[in-house]
Amino acid sequence: MHSLSQLRAGELVGVTRLTLSENLTEFPLEILSLADSLEILDLSNNQLSKLPAEIAHLHKLKIFFASNNRFNTMPEVLGNCPELEMIGFKANQIVHVPENALPPKLRWLILTDNRIETLPDSLGQRPRMQKLALAGNRLTSLPQTMRHLENLELLRISANQLTECPNQLLDLPKLAWFAFAGNPFCQTDLSIDSVPHVASSRFTLQNVLGQGASGVISKAVWNDAQQDFQDDIAVKVFKGEVTSDGYPQDELNACLKVGNHPNLVQSLAQVNEPGFLALIMNLIPSHYKNLGLPPNFDTCTRDTFPAGFTLSIAQIDTIVTQMRDVFEHLHANQVCHGDLYAHNTLFDEEANILFGDFGAASMYHMLDDKQQSQIKQIEQRALDFFIDDLLSVCAEDNRDSARFQALKQAIKPN
């Protein structure tokens, strides 16, 4: 985090990344003095509602964040930024996205949690687009031009007002991570009671184990002696608001529809009280650890791994066998996970895996047979990317093995 006083004193000359959060109501023109170096500009968590035309003078700018501000129109001037490829306007008040607001090199656009009803046709004319987050808006349809987004890999359209399944997206050649729950076209009256309802007063939350876009997971203990459940539990308390992936209730429903599987975190009970939505799960043994790390700015949609991390081909083969079985289980229950990644997978020294995080999951039993087949094919690409990512960290002396070659050849070309 930087300060406006540092900027005005000339202390930030030459920086490539600038973050300012000081309740700003106007764009500080002093930022323009960094034009010869600045690549990442983060003005999130301010009170901005417009940008000056001069921002286009930041000729090296690649990434611009302005989440949690007061924009009601996506600034058209951004379309004049020649190198800009990533834009984030999460949680503003945006109603309008002008036709010319999207820069030519755009590959990552975040417009989650706004008030957008329509998108310009120019969205489908950005051939580098890889990642597009549109959840939590008021979209009633999507541009037909989006069928031209041949490099799009991750798409979030959950929690909108889409009345028809956007068929123009289902045949995109690289689409792999797709979330669409919480729209009229996929509404369902399905009642899922695969686990019992319990009162929140029956347990006490303890230390936080982790948190994501949709909720906080904590260790918990029962307040009374248990006969129905195991003693060691974890509780995910949903935040009760739209996230980058959609509505928490859709996540809960999808998770319960899937049911139990040896390689999924087991759901035990649910809490559905006014202002308190939660899922009670088995506590994961402490010897499990994350298989991967989330994508970064450079990889955009693909997982990353710690420096020096490797797996043997035997471990990879064991992990892939389990994940393929999970995949078939999910789709036998007509649920698309939407986030099939190594960073959502835990593993132990014997390469046993536990897969979770249903924040981007979507039920699709209400779609027609062709659409259902297309949804499964989309997630098949995510599984292929998952395998490819694991092979990228395979131990060098295992890469000539028959098992390595067999896994590599099984990946369908994109």
Confidence of residue 95 (pLDDT cuts 50, 70, 90): very high
In degrees and rounded to multiples of 5, residue 84 shows phi and psi of -70, 125
Pick the last residue of a domain from 282, 300, 328: 282
Domain presence at residue 157: no
Q: Are residues 21 and 124 in the same domain?
A: yes
CB 361 within 8 A of CB 337: yes
User: Strand, helix or coil at 202?
Assistant: helix
Mark residue 289 as left, alpha or beta (left: phi above 0; alpha: psi -120 to 50; beta: remaining): beta
Q: Are residues 127 and 23 in the same domain?
A: yes
Domain presence at residue 173: no
Domain presence at residue 178: no
Q: Which of 50-54, 271-275, 337-341 has the lowest mean pLDDT?
A: 271-275
Q: What pLDDT sits at residue 8?
A: 92
Q: Are residues 41 and 133 in the same domain?
A: yes
Q: pLDDT over 70 for what percent of the chain?
A: 99
Q: Enumerate the β-bridge partners of residue 304.
A: 293
Q: What pLDDT sits at residue 224?
A: 87
Q: Which CATH number covers residue 329?
A: 1.10.510.10
Q: Are residues 1 and 35 in the same domain?
A: yes
Domain presence at residue 195: no
In degrees and rounded to multiples of 5, residue 180 shows phi and psi of -140, 5
Query: Which residues lie closer than 8 Å to 210 by C-beta, 6 or more apart?
Result: 216, 217
Confidence of residue 414 (pLDDT cuts 50, 70, 90): low
Gap between the Cα atoms of 44 and 64, Å rounded:
9
Q: Are residues 135 and 214 in the same domain?
A: no
Q: What pLDDT sits at residue 34?
A: 97
Mean pLDDT calculated for residue range 278-303: 95
Return the percent helix, strand and coil in the chain, to nearest 5.
Answer: 25, 20, 55
Q: pLDDT over 90 for what percent of the chain?
A: 86
Q: Which of 67-81, 135-149, 269-283 has the lowest mean pLDDT?
A: 269-283
Gap between the Cα atoms of 238 and 359, Å rounded:
10
Q: Are residues 312 and 276 in the same domain?
A: no
CB 129 within 8 A of CB 151: yes
What are the tens digits of pLDDT across the range 6-15?
999 999 999 9
- The rounded mean pLDDT for the chain is 94
Q: What is the largest CA-CA distance in the chain?
A: 67
Task: Please state, as a whole number, how many other Cβ atoms lie within 10 Å of the Cβ of residue 79.
Answer: 18
Q: Are residues 4 and 148 in the same domain?
A: yes
Q: Which of 4-8, 69-73, 80-84, 410-414 has the lowest mean pLDDT?
A: 410-414
Mean pLDDT calculated for residue range 83-108: 97
The two tokens of residue 268 are 């035990």
Mean pLDDT calculated for residue range 329-343: 97
Q: Are residues 78 and 207 in the same domain?
A: no
What are the tens digits of pLDDT across the range 359-401?
899 999 999 999 999 999 999 999 999 999 999 999 999 999 9
Pick the last residue of a domain from 249, 282, 315: 282
pLDDT exceeds 90 at position 402:
yes
| Residue range(s) defining the domain that contains residue 46 | 1-152
- Give CB contacts under 8 A, 24+ apart, made by 171-176: 171/147, 171/374, 172/147, 173/414, 174/150, 174/381, 174/414, 175/378, 175/381, 176/301, 176/340, 176/378, 176/379, 176/381, 176/382, 176/384, 176/385
Pick the last residue of a domain from 237, 259, 282: 282
The model carries a pTM of 0.94
Q: Are residues 14 and 108 in the same domain?
A: yes
Domain presence at residue 324: yes
Domain presence at residue 372: yes
CB 203 within 8 A of CB 228: no
State the sign of the Cα–Cα–Cα–Cα dihedral 327, 333, 337, 342.
negative
Q: Which of 204-213, 328-337, 359-368 has the lowest mean pLDDT?
A: 204-213
How many domains are there within the chain? 3
Mean pLDDT calculated for residue range 25-36: 96
Q: Are residues 18 and 96 in the same domain?
A: yes
Q: Are residues 313 and 277 in the same domain?
A: no
Q: Are residues 5 and 27 in the same domain?
A: yes
User: Strand, helix or coil at 142?
Assistant: coil
The two tokens of residue 22 are 């000081």
CA 261 to chain centre: 23
Choose between 211 and 402: higher pLDDT.
402
Domain presence at residue 69: yes
Mean pLDDT calculated for residue range 246-269: 90
Residue identified by tokens 């990889």 is 299
Using CA atoms of 378, 384, 386, 387 in order, give the dihedral in degrees to the nearest 10. 170
Annotation: binding site: 236
Domain presence at residue 378: yes
Annotation: binding site for ATP: 236
| Number of helices followed by number of strands (H, E) in the chain | 5, 18
Mean pLDDT calculated for residue range 224-228: 78
pLDDT exceeds 90 at position 246:
no
Q: Which CATH number covers residue 250?
A: 3.30.200.20
